Amino acid sequence: MDRVTLTPAATAVFATVLTRGPISRTEVSRVTGLSTAAVTKVVRPILAAGYLDELPVGRASAGSGRPAAPLAVRADREFFAGVWLRAGELVVVLADLRAGVRAAHRIPLPGTSVAAVVAAVARAVAVLGAPGALVRRVGVAVPGEVDRGSGIVRRGPYPGWRDVPLAALVREATGLPATVENDVRALTVAEQWFGEGAGTRSFALVTVGEGVGCGLVVNGALVEGGYGVAGEIGHVPVDDTGPRCHCGGRGCVEAIAAEPAVVARIRAATGRAALDLPGAVALARTGDRAALESFAAAGRAVGRGIAAMVNMFGPEKVVVTGDGVAVLEKDLRAAYGPQAFGAAGGCPLIVEPLPPESWARAAAAVTIMALIGLGPG
């Protein structure tokens, strides 16, 4: 951050204002455990650098007898490019310091080689504004295995992508600091700090799409796992007579509930070889039996997988998202309830489709958190 060195105390204060603001110094003190004098000292240079605003005086803070001047993050102090790599295109957004989306674009990918994708990312950033003037940092979200500390894509979404130093290549192509993260973990970060997970200590995000993914936040920290595969509920077995999974197992959640599996069952039952997911959803909404049965099986599998995860990790809430999740919701909830142990059955499940721009916003959110010292990059 320009002209500000963020100590651990400053990072804690800024993150609190970012996710809970407008907020009084007294409340920041309560949340962070710092004294009000320490909060005031920390806030002074951040205010001077223009990252915070002191809003007009509000009501008195409890017990102080003095009016409270709430603190809020100045959203337009920094702007970030968020880029999501998906099949055939890049989704790119311009996000402000509070992860608000100011502009969004979709840019076709001319090829899937590393060089072609990096060049496309650089063009996408240029669409948003002059690098270094409007856009100060770039975040990229990628399906696959990512070492976010180094920005290396170990296994990527396109053929031949192995051990690609994507963060370094994007930095070289754009001249801007860059972060790279797995797309499901990026979306988890965005929901943790700027969405349904804000204010929680434990939180889970489940995505249903080409695969079934899960991001976990435990004790306020994103769980990465010793092998980078934490939260893989897609490979929790829920039916020992179910189909073989690409992982080698049988009856995994992903083998039953991922979009390709759902669509394949409906194609086989209806003879519609060209059917895609939107067509499958449309069939289900008209009451087509084969489509309803396929989505019901998917919903039951996801519900059981979520129950297993909730029983083990105990998140305060779970967000479930994906293009077809609205069709799964009834069966998902029906399968979740009986499998959730004790009070875990009361864990709120928030089922909501998110647009592609949300994934690009998530890439921006990761680089926002890196800026304030809550992530690599």
Tokens, residue 265: 């069952």
- For residue 342, the number of C-alpha atoms closer than 13 Å in the C-beta half-sphere is 4
pLDDT at residue 68, as a whole number:
66
The answer to whether residues 24 and 45 belong to one domain is yes
The answer to whether residues 69 and 118 belong to one domain is no
Specify if 341 maps to a domain. yes
Specify if 193 maps to a domain. no
Distance (Å, whole) CA 35 – CA 41? 10
The answer to whether residues 254 and 324 belong to one domain is yes
User: What is the domain-level CATH number for residue 170?
Assistant: 3.30.420.40
Q: Could you say which of 21, 51, 76 is where a domain stops?
A: 76
Specify if 2 maps to a domain. no
pLDDT at residue 315, as a whole number:
93
Q: Phi then psi for 154, rounded to 5 degrees?
A: -70, -45
The answer to whether residues 82 and 72 belong to one domain is no
Segments of the chain assigned E as strands: 52-54, 71-73, 79-86, 89-96, 101-108, 137-142, 145-147, 152-155, 162-164, 178-182, 203-208, 212-218, 221-222, 318-321, 349-351
Those residues with Cβ within 8 angstroms of residue 306's Cβ, 6 or more apart along the chain or in another chain: 204, 206, 233, 318, 320, 332, 336, 349
Specify if 117 maps to a domain. yes
Burial (Cβ within 10 Å: 0-12, 13-18, ≥19) of residue 70: buried
Is the peptide bond preceding residue 376 cis, with omega within 30 degrees of 0? no
The answer to whether residues 240 and 310 belong to one domain is yes
Q: How many angstroms separate the Cα of 307 from the Cα of each of 33, 35, 188, 242?
A: 34, 40, 18, 18
Angle at 15 between CA 231 and CA 373, to 5 degrees: 75
Amino acid letter, residue 296? A
Looking at the structure of the chain, the number of domains it has is 3
Burial (Cβ within 10 Å: 0-12, 13-18, ≥19) of residue 248: exposed
The answer to whether residues 176 and 98 belong to one domain is yes
pLDDT at residue 58, as a whole number:
55
Tokens, residue 133: 């003037």
**pTM, to two decimals:** 0.88
Query: What pLDDT tens digit does each residue of the chain (377 aa) get?
Result: 666 678 889 999 999 999 888 999 999 999 999 999 999 999 999 999 999 999 886 554 445 555 568 999 999 999 999 999 988 899 999 999 999 999 999 999 989 999 999 999 999 998 887 555 678 899 999 998 888 889 999 988 888 899 999 999 999 999 999 999 999 999 999 999 999 988 888 999 999 998 999 999 998 888 877 766 678 899 999 998 889 998 889 999 999 999 999 999 999 999 999 999 999 999 999 999 999 999 999 999 999 999 999 999 999 999 999 988 999 999 999 999 999 888 888 899 999 988 999 999 999 999 999 888 876 65
The answer to whether residues 272 and 336 belong to one domain is yes
Specify if 228 maps to a domain. yes
pLDDT at residue 87, as a whole number:
84
Pairing of strands 178-182, 221-222: unpaired
Distance (Å, whole) CA 148 – CA 152? 7
Provide the 3-class DSSP secondary structure of residue 227: coil
Burial (Cβ within 10 Å: 0-12, 13-18, ≥19) of residue 240: exposed
Specify if 3 maps to a domain. no
Specify if 174 maps to a domain. yes
The answer to whether residues 206 and 345 belong to one domain is yes
pLDDT at residue 60, as a whole number:
44
Contact of 299 with 335, CB cutoff 8 Å = yes
Distance (Å, whole) CA 263 – CA 138? 35
Specify if 376 maps to a domain. no
The answer to whether residues 249 and 177 belong to one domain is no
The answer to whether residues 251 and 365 belong to one domain is no
Which domain does 364 fall in, by range?
78-188+358-371
User: What is the domain-level CATH number for residue 20?
Assistant: 1.10.10.10
- Integer distance in angstroms from the first to the last C-alpha of the chain? 13
Q: How many angstroms separate the Cα of 29 from the Cα of each of 14, 35, 245?
A: 12, 6, 50
Distance (Å, whole) CA 31 – CA 353? 32
The answer to whether residues 41 and 95 belong to one domain is no
The answer to whether residues 118 and 171 belong to one domain is yes
